[in-house]
Structure 1
């Protein structure tokens, strides 16, 4: 029997980027499949979360993401531009956001087309690897989408023409995420248990093995 899990994931989360390659390898090697549920980042849905953080939270976060990427052997740089527009001086987020809503809707549409995880993997690499500047310009997103096995024109049309429907799906996923046990990303929900953070991947796989995880034949 194919095991299934829910993945709650954000394009603005460096830790979300860091888990995708392991989930891709997991699904390639084992009979398990993710229900991919992109969500808006906390900076968009609950920006006040960051207003109450101790200043050490941010400095440690910036240190940790570079260290963790190096530990995992992943190329990494803070994106240019940031998927979420932010005033770093005041650590505030304007209501009007040029990138994150459409990115998230593209992810939902890709999941509906059965290519959710490949799309998240390719696009997060584009955004976070530092291999290109201005990931939102030119044909960068189109090429990443094609590498994920999707047609960029068709996917873009869905995101643009069905934005309200896709936003409703994202909001439902955010409610389901909290019901499943956490608000942060990446978060995996499996068999009534939440695994928050990319550093819980090994525990997640351990649970899968307890439930009869089998190699693909």
Structure 2
């Protein structure tokens, strides 16, 4: 019997990116369906978040994601440009955001029409692995989508002119995330039980294994 797990994901979350490869491997290893459910990052959901947190939080985050990447053999570098436009001095989040809404809506369209995990894996690696500067220009995003089996122009046609519709879908994903018992990403939710963080993937596998999760 195929097991199903929801993956709540943000394309601005370094920990979401760090979790992706492991989750791809799990799907390859086990009879497992992964339903990618993108949400907006905390900076969009709560624009005051970064101006209110302890000033040590961001330096620690940057140090931690680099060492986790090094430990796991996952190349990582902060994206250029950042998927969320942010004033790095004042930590203010401008209302106008050129990237994150499109990325999130594309992720939903991909999940609704094909292999959302493959799309998320390719796009996140393209954004986060440090090899691609100016990932938003040229054909970088189109090639990442193509590697995952998608036509970027078709995905863009699905979301074009449908901002409110896709914003509502993001809101539904966020509500489902909170209903499972958490608010952050990455979170795996199995039988409405939340497993938050890239370091809780094995705990989720343990839970599913107790319910008969089988190798392919």
Please indicate the TM-score interval, normalised by the length of the shorter structure. over 0.9
Q: CA deviation at 1:28?
A: 1.3
| SS of residue in 2 equivalent to 1:198 | coil
Q: CA deviation at 1:199?
A: 0.8
Q: CA deviation at 1:159?
A: 1.9
Q: Distance in 2 between matches of 1:99 and 1:185?
A: 19
Q: How do 1:1-217 residues align onto structure 2 when only pairs under 5 Å count?
A: 1-216=1-216
Runs of 4+ in 1 over 4 A off after TM superposition: none
| SS of residue in 1 equivalent to 2:194 | strand
Q: CA deviation at 1:97?
A: 0.2
Q: Distance in 2 between matches of 1:155 and 1:147?
A: 14
Q: Distance in 2 between matches of 1:75 and 1:160?
A: 32
20-29 or 105-114, which deviates more:
20-29
Q: Distance in 2 between matches of 1:98 and 1:50?
A: 19
The runs of 5 or more residues in structure 1 that have no matched partner are none
Aligned residues: 216
Q: CA deviation at 1:52?
A: 2.2
Q: Distance in 1 between matches of 2:146 and 2:162?
A: 21
Q: CA deviation at 1:190?
A: 0.7
50-59 or 70-79, which deviates more:
50-59
| SS of residue in 2 equivalent to 1:203 | helix
The answer on whether the counterparts of 2:179 and 2:192 sit within 8 Å (CA) in structure 1 is no
The runs of 5 or more residues in structure 2 that have no matched partner are none
CA-based RMSD of the aligned residues comes to 1.0
**What is the TM-score of this pair, normalised by structure 1?**
0.97
Q: Distance in 1 between matches of 2:199 and 2:50?
A: 22
Q: CA deviation at 1:161?
A: 3.6
Q: Distance in 2 between matches of 1:161 and 1:99?
A: 16
191-200 or 102-111, which deviates more:
191-200
Q: Distance in 2 between matches of 1:75 and 1:179?
A: 33
Q: CA deviation at 1:162?
A: 2.8
